[in-house]
Structure 1
Amino acid sequence: MPSGPSFSVWDYVVFTLMLVVSAGIGVYYAFAGGGQSSSADFLVGGRSMTAVPVALSLTASFMSAITVLGTPVEVYQYGAIFILICFSYVLMVAVSSEIFLPIFYRLGITSTYEYLEMRYNKVIRLFGTVLFIIQTVLYTGLVIYAPALALNQVTGVDLWGAVVSTGVVCTLYCTLGGLKAVVWTDVFQVGILLAGLLAVIVQSVLLQGGISTIISDSAQGGRLNLWDFDPNPLRRHTFWSITIGGTFLWTSVYGINQAQVQRYISCKSLFHAKMALYINLVSLWTISLCSVFCGLCLYSVYKNCDPWTANKVSAQDQLMPYLVLDILSEYPGLPGLFVAAAYSGTLSTVSSSVNALAAVTITDLMCPYLSLSERQLSWASKGMSVFYGAVCIGMAGLASLMGGMLQAAISIVGVIGGPLLGLFSLGVLFSCANTKGGLAGLLSGLALSLWVCIGAQIYPPQPENSRPLPLMTHGCNFSMAPEGTNWTANMDDFIMKEKNLLRPFLADNWYSLSYLYFGPLGTVTVIVVGLIISILSGGRQTKLQPGLVLSKEDLTCYKAYNVFKEKVSGSSGKLDLVRELEKSFGKTNLAFCDVELSTQTLP
């Protein structure tokens, strides 16, 4: 238990209320409109969702407690350069909406990995499904465990009580309400997440005497290191690693990840699906800016007395909860609001993951091999939600081995998501790619990504590449320090110890590659190897089914050009581009009007 300020009754009330409302949304959608009567209702919301709630759900799905607790610490230790990730969001949205979304939506698939069987064969589909399940379970375990540990150490919130309650509540509303409950709970949780971050920002600004003071402190401490154009790929964070690496990373999440694609295809039209992505961009920027500014607030408050170096917290991931109790404890309920914000991020991510895992298991691992009625499919979907909820709670125990939250989460997504992005890109962009090329590329990209990631875990990059910024303790009151505490321990000691270790040649070259490049490495390897093997093995021998490869008609700019050209040549009244585009994309989800597309392997 913490020795300083801890949770009050009102904090527990606010936190509990967030859990109750989240569960209540699931109960509501379990019975609203006749309940989840079919597997389509349960897994893809009856294909009737609109842009705004889906957009907020897209944001919530991967803006987890890792964002709330990990991003501010990243800024505190390494500087605000991480805000450049906002550039990668723009590129990601453009690529996802223009390249991948039209393909998946047109095919009317429930699982993203159905595309792999249509484009390649059943074996590659199975590979994709299994990799997704492994990636999602690992990532979700980290999302559940890491914030629970950080909050337990600082606020006294029971560790396993928090882990189990999070998993149980997620499983409850996923199982009862399906995708509609997940989406609308995400909308509520995004609001809570923003409110928690803003509470910290407002109070920090008031305590420090204004935004200008926080900016000035950050500049003097070297935290406003925004423009670093060093092309060295071994440097942890530069303009290039964040924008290029971040684009590949987030495209693997938003472009092909089942948890996100499942939301697109739940929209009632392709236009709503595309608009959801662009609206999501605004909320991504908002949360990222707030979390980065929280990091600057954290530095401004503790610029002269770093709680981590001073042993007031046992890990850097605990800095944000420590700050919250330090500056908000005199306002009952506000610390609870921040904890609710952290857990809202956790709930939204876990629920999205559980729902996506249930969808791919039913669609990829059960339906092709078992003959099930619609009622049996509906019950199997709910059973899978319960099963994966329990698995994710169990996997939370392994997350303690992963290190810092933000880097660990991005590494997991990059190592597996990168090769999968390469596999989908190969199929969507290159009609000559065949099954042999796809499989060889996937295995090569996965092997290379895993090699460098495991090497980086064994031999962490040297400080000259990661470049942590100095943390001060000269303003601490050491009179209350435990006897024997070494207050001189700092980064210099760490650097000297690292230099004295015997490190192989690859440790300071190959294994020191920025973790943000794990994803691009896997993606590019899959595409290059896949194309070479496909060409050497004779290319595509049979004609592709229509709609499996990107065409110019899928591009919004092409449709906009045609609409504009038609209106100008016809001179038929005032041009309402948005309305005409919506009409061009289609008002209803035609892919799901009692038509089932064949998923048979091409001969």
Structure 2
Amino acid sequence: MRLNIFTLIFVFQLIVSGVYGNNEYLKFSSLPELIPNSGQSIQPGLAGPYTGVDNGVLIVAGGANFPDKLPWEGGAKKYYDEIFILDRSGEEEYIWKRMEEKLPFASGYGGAVSTPHGLLCFGGNTSNECVSESWFIRFLPGKGNVEIKPGPKLPASLTNFAFAKVKNTLFVAGGLLSLNASAQNVFLSLDLSDSNPENWKWETLSGWNGEARAFAVTAAQSNGVADCFYLFSGRNIKSNGEVDILYDAHVYDPSLQKWEVISDGNNQKFPVMAGTAFSIGASTIVFASGADGELMKKQMRIEKRISQLQENKDTDELKTYQNQLLNHLQNHPGFGKKITGFNTLTNKTTEIAHLPGTGQVTTAAVLWNNEFIIPTGEIRPGVRTPNILKISIQKDTRHLNWLDVVVIALYFLVLSWMGYFFSKRQKNTNDYFKGGGRIPWWAAGLSIFGTALSAITFMAIPAKTFTTDWSYFMLNMTIFLVAPIIILLFIPFYRKLNVTTAYEYLENRFNLTIRLIASLSFIIYQVGRMGVVLFLPSIALNVVTGIDIFVCIALMGIVSLVYTMLGGIEAVIWTDVMQVIVLLGGAILSLVLIIFKIDGGFQSIVETAAENHKFNVFDLTLSLKQPTVWVMLLGGIFANITTYGTDQTMVQRYLTTKTQKEANQSVWTNAILTIPATLIFFFVGTALFAFYQSFPGELNPTFQNNDAIFPWYVASQLPAGISGLLIAGIFAAAMSSLSSSMNSAATTYSTDIHFRFGWSKTTNQLKLARIATLVVGISGTLFAFMMATMNIQSLWDEFQKVLGLVIGSLGGVFLLGLLSKKANSKGALTGMIISFGVQILVAGYQPVHLIVYSATGVISCFIAGWGASWLFRGKK
């Protein structure tokens, strides 16, 4: 018990030291100004340079400016072919260098993206024509210079286009085919995945459903399902010379090869022409600059009037308008300081920061050393800047009140006390693994419910319905189709055989090898599952308190491990009962508070969700690659058979009740609870979507993973004490699964391996069981550390992959043994091997949705095992 108290004090100190608030998402600073071009004493700045990063240095090449006089003073525009690199010799020491090597053309206003073969520069224009060529700029660190190599040629000469790289594909949209020509609806792609760039070929795709444009703004960002190409604003230069400023927005989904209109430019405007944009977090696009076109329109009206007066030779009025134009250009305020964030899930914009100076347009935002660099560019019509702006992303956290800390600390204290209380009842392994048969059916049912849903429910499902829709609803409902199978087929076998683990049956039915393979697969799966359920709440705690995510994982792993080691399955089940109450109570309370916060309440939430197609449940498309109703039914049935029929965490609950009838009742308790729980947690995500549509400024744009959306609401919107209670609910969501995984995996190792082979006969079996729990708990915690270093967009998806790929064949083996008298050990082993190979192919080629992975594992194992059993006829 002393260890528990020490742990709680440590947790309390870390929570208190970690809480702080930060409302500034972006931090601004400057790098050394761009040095002058050859033969010049000053650098006025460059518009339209090719910018990017290669081998750790920032590259700025080409571009244009007015070196002598401003354009209204009669200055001539000059294009350059010089290449500059910004290198960092120390932590804060940056040095500009002008390279001896030159671009193939003195040009600018093209595109540039980083590739493994160098910075790929493409298109643009010289002083008199557009460019179709492309080339690689490769920085050679050992030599300190660059080399230039040709790249794939564009299908046509193109300039002033927008571009972005989505994963390994470069997309180009709009632009001009020749100077002073009309804008185009050109849309091109270039696959960069081939290791040999000589094989790269540009492809012409269908354009968006909207006006042609140049000087548009683009960014790559996720729409909640897939990474997409976003296209905003721009201007359409018509054949008569008139300019139409555009304020619309479009998105292209490469996985579906489909364009959609985000805004027609009327109800929601994007005044960001010629600006810069970059993506942060899981679903935010930041517009760091851009022109709304209003001052440009004013300038064009004055210039048009001047042209008319020149034709009419009205010198008096002409002079007046010429003075107006000069005054307009000299006193232009610049391209604004406001930075706007656009959320790709809610499709809402909000102001998130202000620039220290005026916005820089006709340049690009470049990611360098996890910071965004906006080099040089244009700050007013005809006026450039040599400034290099650096933007650092600041993760936001929210204060935890002292009352929240007390609530969380008390919660940990209660869990630790329960482990200590039940430890006094653990006399042998029957108590430790089966609870001595003392568990009532309703407690076992609640424990099954908490183990099956827990962290995946509390955080990942609201995140899924927030980002997408209710397509996954039918997945949970399949438990009603599977419950009768579990009650009629599986439970009678386990109760009759009086087994401790489900895998003892496999040795009785087949042989020891099959039992060991199944046991080891289950243990591996549980370690992976522990990683997921540890990582989820650790994200939440990191977001709301700022405590390091690795510290969060370690603390949760330690506390769960302590009470699970002490109290065995009884502590696990009774803490599950308490945690299910906190789990559902916290979700209901959050839902009520969201409803009261939004104008119009429940009706407004429903209307907003319906307008945005959030209630899509039955997608009847005949496809196994999209989350259709067929995928949900097929995947859900086989996933639940595998989980409830062969997963030791579930089977162990069936064995803790006094009778088979009570075991059956525990299964129905879980199934019945699934209905209100699914409705509650699915609607929480939908309500959060409606809330952040109403209050877009409250949404944190720096999230790296949308699974943190619910805890962010809890920490940022709820009053003191209630926040602590619901954060405790997040811990409850994780620990109910975590403790079950620890105990069941330890049970499996002890019974199926250690005790089965009679190892360490002199060692007390209860002590050995606790040591096994310790080893499993530490392994799961270490796996969570590994997950924390990976870029995982959706933990729900990762959990489904683990479920399907690791234990998909187990369901097939059990069904083979239960349903076929002809099945034998050689056939079962063959089925498992073939199923494992099928699963590798499925994971590699992804012919079906990840939820169907369990079905492919079960079906392939059953069919292959049944067929092989006929070939290897022998003893049944």
TM value normalised by structure 1: 0.77
CA distance in 1 between partners of 2:457 and 2:869 (Å): 40
CA distance in 1 between partners of 2:867 and 2:436 (Å): 42
Q: Does 1:362 align with 2:750?
A: yes
- SS of equivalent to 1:263: helix
Q: Does 1:250 align with 2:640?
A: yes
Residue in 1 that maps onto 2:412: 19
CA distance in 1 between partners of 2:586 and 2:699 (Å): 26
CA distance in 2 between partners of 1:306 and 1:373 (Å): 63
- The alpha-carbon distance between structure 1 residues 117 and 210, as it changes in their structure 2 partners (threshold 3 A), is same
CA distance in 2 between partners of 1:364 and 1:156 (Å): 42
2:851 is matched by which residue type in structure 1? Answer: L
Residue in 2 that maps onto 1:276: 666
Residue in 1 that maps onto 2:422: 29
Deviations 1:432-473 (A, max 9, x none): 1011110010111122113322x2xxxxxxxxxxxxxxxxxx
Query: Is contact 2:404-2:721 (8 Å) kept?
Result: yes
CA distance in 1 between partners of 2:506 and 2:796 (Å): 30
Which among 508, 511, 515 is matched to residue 846 of structure 2?
511
Residue in 2 that maps onto 1:81: 471
- SS of equivalent to 2:579: helix
CA distance in 1 between partners of 2:733 and 2:401 (Å): 22
1:232 is matched by which residue type in structure 2? Answer: S
1:23 is matched by which residue type in structure 2? Answer: S
Residue in 2 that maps onto 1:297: 687
Q: Does 1:126 align with 2:516?
A: yes
Counterparts of 1:88-237 in structure 2, within 5 Å, are 88-208=478-598, 209-235=600-626, 237=627
Which among 765, 769, 775 is matched to residue 387 of structure 1?
775
1:433 is matched by which residue type in structure 2? Answer: A
Residue in 2 that maps onto 1:572: none
Q: Which moved more, 1:157-166 or 1:347-356?
A: 157-166
**Structure with more helix by fraction:** 1
CA distance in 1 between partners of 2:430 and 2:659 (Å): 16
- The alpha-carbon distance between structure 1 residues 310 and 12, as it changes in their structure 2 partners (threshold 3 A), is closer
CA distance in 1 between partners of 2:440 and 2:612 (Å): 45
Query: Is contact 1:73-1:320 (8 Å) kept?
Result: yes
Q: Does 1:321 align with 2:711?
A: yes
- The runs of 5 or more residues in structure 1 that have no matched partner are 456-509, 543-603
Deviation at 1:512, TM superposition (A): 4.5
Deviation at 1:337, TM superposition (A): 1.6
CA distance in 2 between partners of 1:392 and 1:54 (Å): 24
1:334 is matched by which residue type in structure 2? Answer: I
1:172 is matched by which residue type in structure 2? Answer: V
Residue in 2 that maps onto 1:541: 875
Q: Which moved more, 1:211-220 or 1:309-318?
A: 309-318
2:850 is matched by which residue type in structure 1? Answer: Y
Residue in 2 that maps onto 1:484: none
Deviation at 1:410, TM superposition (A): 1.5
Counterparts of 1:309-348 in structure 2, within 5 Å, are 311-328=701-718, 331-348=719-736
Q: Which moved more, 1:85-94 or 1:340-349?
A: 85-94
Query: Is contact 1:6-1:156 (8 Å) kept?
Result: no
- The alpha-carbon distance between structure 1 residues 364 and 327, as it changes in their structure 2 partners (threshold 3 A), is same
Residue in 1 that maps onto 2:861: 526
Deviation at 1:147, TM superposition (A): 2.2
2:406 is matched by which residue type in structure 1? Answer: V
- The runs of 5 or more residues in structure 2 that have no matched partner are 1-19, 24-397
1:293 is matched by which residue type in structure 2? Answer: F
- The alpha-carbon distance between structure 1 residues 415 and 307, as it changes in their structure 2 partners (threshold 3 A), is farther
Deviation at 1:343, TM superposition (A): 1.0
- SS of equivalent to 2:471: helix
Q: CA RMSD in A?
A: 1.9
Deviation at 1:324, TM superposition (A): 1.8
- SS of equivalent to 1:303: helix
Residue in 1 that maps onto 2:22: 3
CA distance in 2 between partners of 1:93 and 1:444 (Å): 28
Deviation at 1:146, TM superposition (A): 2.6
- The alpha-carbon distance between structure 1 residues 308 and 128, as it changes in their structure 2 partners (threshold 3 A), is farther
Query: Is contact 1:195-1:337 (8 Å) kept?
Result: no
Deviation at 1:92, TM superposition (A): 2.2
Deviation at 1:312, TM superposition (A): 3.8
Counterparts of 1:555-574 in structure 2, within 5 Å, are none
Deviations 1:67-116 (A, max 9, x none): 21110111112202222223211112122122111111111111111111
TM value normalised by structure 2: 0.53
- The alpha-carbon distance between structure 1 residues 450 and 306, as it changes in their structure 2 partners (threshold 3 A), is farther
**Structure with more strand by fraction:** 2
1:212 is matched by which residue type in structure 2? Answer: Q
Query: Is contact 2:443-2:577 (8 Å) kept?
Result: yes
- SS of equivalent to 1:302: helix
Deviation at 1:155, TM superposition (A): 3.5
Deviation at 1:368, TM superposition (A): 1.8
CA distance in 2 between partners of 1:53 and 1:373 (Å): 34
CA distance in 2 between partners of 1:327 and 1:418 (Å): 41
1:217 is matched by which residue type in structure 2? Answer: T
Deviation at 1:162, TM superposition (A): 2.3
CA distance in 2 between partners of 1:254 and 1:2 (Å): 43
Deviation at 1:327, TM superposition (A): 2.4
Query: Is contact 1:174-1:351 (8 Å) kept?
Result: yes
CA distance in 2 between partners of 1:128 and 1:363 (Å): 13
Residue in 2 that maps onto 1:558: none
Residue in 2 that maps onto 1:559: none
Deviation at 1:344, TM superposition (A): 0.5
Residue in 1 that maps onto 2:224: none
Residue in 2 that maps onto 1:262: 652
CA distance in 1 between partners of 2:621 and 2:831 (Å): 30
CA distance in 2 between partners of 1:263 and 1:374 (Å): 29
Deviations 1:270-304 (A, max 9, x none): 00000000011122222222110101111101226
Query: Is contact 1:38-1:375 (8 Å) kept?
Result: no
Deviation at 1:154, TM superposition (A): 3.5
Deviation at 1:422, TM superposition (A): 0.5
Kindly indicate whether structure 1 or structure 2 has the higher relative contact order, using CA contacts under 8 Å at least 6 residues apart.
1
Deviation at 1:257, TM superposition (A): 0.2
CA distance in 1 between partners of 2:784 and 2:566 (Å): 23
Between the two proteins, the alignment pairs up a number of residues equal to 480
CA distance in 1 between partners of 2:810 and 2:698 (Å): 38
Query: Is contact 1:308-1:316 (8 Å) kept?
Result: no
- SS of equivalent to 2:405: helix
- The alpha-carbon distance between structure 1 residues 41 and 183, as it changes in their structure 2 partners (threshold 3 A), is same
Query: Is contact 2:438-2:656 (8 Å) kept?
Result: yes
Counterparts of 1:332-481 in structure 2, within 5 Å, are 332-370=720-758, 376-400=764-788, 401=790, 402-453=792-843, 455=844
Counterparts of 1:578-589 in structure 2, within 5 Å, are none
Deviation at 1:23, TM superposition (A): 1.2
- SS of equivalent to 2:625: coil
Deviation at 1:11, TM superposition (A): 1.2
Query: Is contact 2:550-2:785 (8 Å) kept?
Result: no
Residue in 1 that maps onto 2:8: none
1:224 is matched by which residue type in structure 2? Answer: F
Residue in 1 that maps onto 2:373: none
Deviation at 1:315, TM superposition (A): 2.0
- The alpha-carbon distance between structure 1 residues 305 and 314, as it changes in their structure 2 partners (threshold 3 A), is farther
1:258 is matched by which residue type in structure 2? Answer: Q
CA distance in 1 between partners of 2:759 and 2:539 (Å): 44
